[in-house]
Structure 1
Amino acid sequence: MDLRALKTFEACVRLGHFLKAAEELQYAPSTVTLQIQRLEADLGVSLFVRDGKRVIVTEAGRWLHNEASALLKSIGTMRQTVSDIAAGDTGSVRFAAIEPVASQQLATVIADFCKTRPKVELTMEVSGSRTIAERVRAGELEFGVCSAPSSKLMLEFEPLIEERLGIMLNRNHPLADQDSITASDLAGLTVLVKEPTCIYRELWETAIDGAGRNPFSCMEVGSFFVIQQMVKAEFGIGIVPIYSGLEQEGSLVIRPIADLNPVVTIGIAYKDKNYLGKAALLLMEAIRGIREPNPTRPSA
């Protein structure tokens, strides 16, 4: 059935007159009559009974009107939803980011995005760089914020920021008064590091191995927050990215590593922009804003 004919039929029944339907739809009266005649011919039934200048809806016409009204309303909703998706006002986005970028850089960006586009179903996961890249490649995530993925995954990668590692110290630690720390300063200390699959752990071990010095003992801890709390409790020192947000006034400080300066590039990894929805593209654009200097983040 022609949807235009159904729309014309619905207007005729609702308004009770062919001429009023023609005026509402901005059709010529003859066009309305022709569409109704074609619809009746297509269905093989009479939808109206003519009584002089009046038209009376038949039983079949009344049933069709109920169904047509629901269908046209559903089509209207479909059109609006498709339009909203195309504009990025609705839809779904699933992405992931590594810590502490997720909490220190992206949390406010995501909050602002959700406030301006409340109909978008957004899922943000926190994971390691390797896992994120593999899931983006598998199509389980639209994109990820992580370190540069392996070339074999064939993903696009847009660099955003450079992360530098530092030493997290309790304010009472003797090294806390130094502006920077060298690897030799860590002799005999317990160093708290992330799990082996963490990009920051890999960065740290690469820097230390390159320097040929390892005068300390390491303890593996799977969470930056736990590292933070252990250092606060005056157990060991932590290897963490340099973020002022990880420091705690009066209890914790982060100092750069003067002789190693380990650096890793963090960016957006994705397969193909042509396959991404408008909401995902808009969120990526918002995330690109973290390229701007962050006044709360100390320079390394």
Structure 2
Amino acid sequence: MDLRHLQAIVEIVRHNSFTRAAEALHVTQPTISKMIKNLENELRIEIFARDGKRVKLTDAGEAIVRHAGPILQSFDNLVTEINDLTYLNKGSIRIGLPPMAGSSFFPPVIKSFQERYPGISIRMVEDGARRIEEGIADGSLDVGVVLLPVDETAFESFPIVEDRLKVILHPSHPLAERSRIELAELEGEPFILFNNDFALHERIVRECRAIGFEPRIACESSQWDFIGELAAAGLGVAMLPETICRAIPPSKARTVPLVNPIIPWQLVLAWKRDGYISLAAREWIRFTRDVFASSFSSSASSST
């Protein structure tokens, strides 16, 4: 027994006719009669009582019809849901966003995406890039924004933001009026950093060690705006991307380019190279790639 048999029986009962049921199913009358006969032989029962031209169900036939309705309805619901997913009328995406990327770059992207696909729900997880990378790897996130470099054998990605770090200092700091600051000049200064969940923490510590000193960490936070406020209050020096530094008023703090070395802040949207990617997540990747590709093109045009 399969769905075709159930559909045939239900149509025969609905139309009270083998011929009309065959027309409804776009098959010939002998074909539908043969289907019913084969099923009766398979189950060793009679489904329809032969009573001249009348269509009458046997007890076994009534039992089949009673169960056929919910089965066929469930199948129709399944087909509808698959079609919805295929045409992106519904679905869900789990996206990991670091605080700086989420607040600075993604609100308009998410708004545009949901206007185009209102049936797709977005669950955002705000965390450090390191934790987001772990979430993508273990499957708890579909996609996420992480900091370069990433393991290209494990993840696929495309660029979103290319930026560099600047030093944030209190206006009265001796280095506040400099046009640029070398990292070595910050030896001995109290550092205000992101906590260990953020890839930028390890990046700054590693660069300090590479030039010969261990940074003196005075405070750690998971919030970029709080880090900026602490530096503006004179509790230490902080390093944040230039894009973020633009939001800090010069009256509260000075932001000075960091050089020797320049520490890049390059964000990518990443997803697991191997494994299932839902249709909704695939469309988010395509949509986001197009948005940021346009942004990069606009930036390149304005700089030439």
TM range (shorter): 0.7 to 0.9
Change (3 A) 1:18 1:152: closer
List gaps (5 residues or longer) in structure 2. Answer: none
- Aligned-pair identity in percent equals 25
Deviation for aligned residue 1:178: 5.8
More divergent stretch after superposition (246-255 vs 129-138) = 246-255
Q: Which residue is equivalent to 1:293?
A: 295
Deviations 1:265-292 (A, max 9, x none): 2113333266322211111122222244
SS in 1 for 2:259: coil
Deviation for aligned residue 1:56: 1.9
Q: Which residue is equivalent to 1:140?
A: 140
Note if 1:15 corresponds to 2:2.
Answer: no
SS in 2 for 1:257: strand
Q: Tell me how far apart the structure 1 counterparts of residues 149 and 160 of structure 2 sit (CA, whole Å).
A: 14
Note if 1:104 corresponds to 2:137.
Answer: no
Deviations 1:232-265 (A, max 9, x none): 7676554222225971669767734153532132
Q: Tell me how far apart the structure 2 counterparts of residues 57 and 129 of structure 1 sit (CA, whole Å).
A: 65
Change (3 A) 1:153 1:80: same
Q: Tell me how far apart the structure 2 counterparts of residues 135 and 182 of structure 1 sit (CA, whole Å).
A: 36
Q: Tell me how far apart the structure 1 counterparts of residues 254 and 53 of structure 2 sit (CA, whole Å).
A: 88
Q: Answer yes or no: is the 8 Å Cα contact 1:7–1:72 preserved in 2.
A: yes
Q: Tell me how far apart the structure 2 counterparts of residues 80 and 253 of structure 1 sit (CA, whole Å).
A: 57
Q: Answer yes or no: is the 8 Å Cα contact 2:131–2:197 preserved in 1.
A: no
Deviation for aligned residue 1:94: 2.3
Q: Tell me how far apart the structure 1 counterparts of residues 221 and 253 of structure 2 sit (CA, whole Å).
A: 19
Q: Tell me how far apart the structure 1 counterparts of residues 99 and 220 of structure 2 sit (CA, whole Å).
A: 16
Q: Answer yes or no: is the 8 Å Cα contact 1:242–1:254 preserved in 2.
A: no
Q: Tell me how far apart the structure 1 counterparts of residues 51 and 245 of structure 2 sit (CA, whole Å).
A: 80
Q: Which residue is equivalent to 1:41?
A: 41
Q: Tell me how far apart the structure 1 counterparts of residues 202 and 285 of structure 2 sit (CA, whole Å).
A: 27
What's the C-alpha RMSD, in Å, of the aligned pairs?
A: 3.8
Note if 1:278 corresponds to 2:290.
Answer: no
Q: Tell me how far apart the structure 1 counterparts of residues 257 and 69 of structure 2 sit (CA, whole Å).
A: 70
Q: Which amino acid aligns with 2:279?
A: K
Change (3 A) 1:123 1:98: same
Q: Tell me how far apart the structure 2 counterparts of residues 181 and 218 of structure 1 sit (CA, whole Å).
A: 23
Q: Answer yes or no: is the 8 Å Cα contact 1:160–1:268 preserved in 2.
A: yes
Q: Answer yes or no: is the 8 Å Cα contact 2:94–2:122 preserved in 1.
A: yes
Q: Answer yes or no: is the 8 Å Cα contact 2:187–2:213 preserved in 1.
A: no
Q: Tell me how far apart the structure 1 counterparts of residues 103 and 17 of structure 2 sit (CA, whole Å).
A: 62
Q: Answer yes or no: is the 8 Å Cα contact 1:179–1:255 preserved in 2.
A: no
Q: Answer yes or no: is the 8 Å Cα contact 1:97–1:132 preserved in 2.
A: yes
Q: Tell me how far apart the structure 2 counterparts of residues 15 and 230 of structure 1 sit (CA, whole Å).
A: 78
More divergent stretch after superposition (67-76 vs 140-149) = 140-149
Any residues of structure 2 matched to 1:45-84 within 5 Å, and which?
A: 45-84=45-84
Q: Which amino acid aligns with 2:283?
A: L
SS in 1 for 2:164: strand
Q: Answer yes or no: is the 8 Å Cα contact 1:247–1:253 preserved in 2.
A: no
Q: Tell me how far apart the structure 2 counterparts of residues 254 and 39 of structure 1 sit (CA, whole Å).
A: 83
SS in 2 for 1:193: strand
What TM-score, normalized to structure 2?
Answer: 0.78
Q: Answer yes or no: is the 8 Å Cα contact 1:228–1:246 preserved in 2.
A: no
Deviation for aligned residue 1:147: 1.4
Q: Tell me how far apart the structure 2 counterparts of residues 39 and 215 of structure 1 sit (CA, whole Å).
A: 80
Q: Which residue is equivalent to 1:182?
A: 181
Deviation for aligned residue 1:41: 2.3
Q: Answer yes or no: is the 8 Å Cα contact 1:128–1:199 preserved in 2.
A: yes
Q: Which residue is equivalent to 1:268?
A: 269
SS in 2 for 1:293: helix
Note if 1:124 corresponds to 2:124.
Answer: yes
Deviation for aligned residue 1:199: 2.4
List gaps (5 residues or longer) in structure 1. Answer: none
Q: Answer yes or no: is the 8 Å Cα contact 2:100–2:244 preserved in 1.
A: no
SS in 2 for 1:270: strand
Q: Tell me how far apart the structure 2 counterparts of residues 139 and 202 of structure 1 sit (CA, whole Å).
A: 24
Q: Tell me how far apart the structure 2 counterparts of residues 19 and 181 of structure 1 sit (CA, whole Å).
A: 88
SS in 2 for 1:159: strand
Deviation for aligned residue 1:213: 8.2
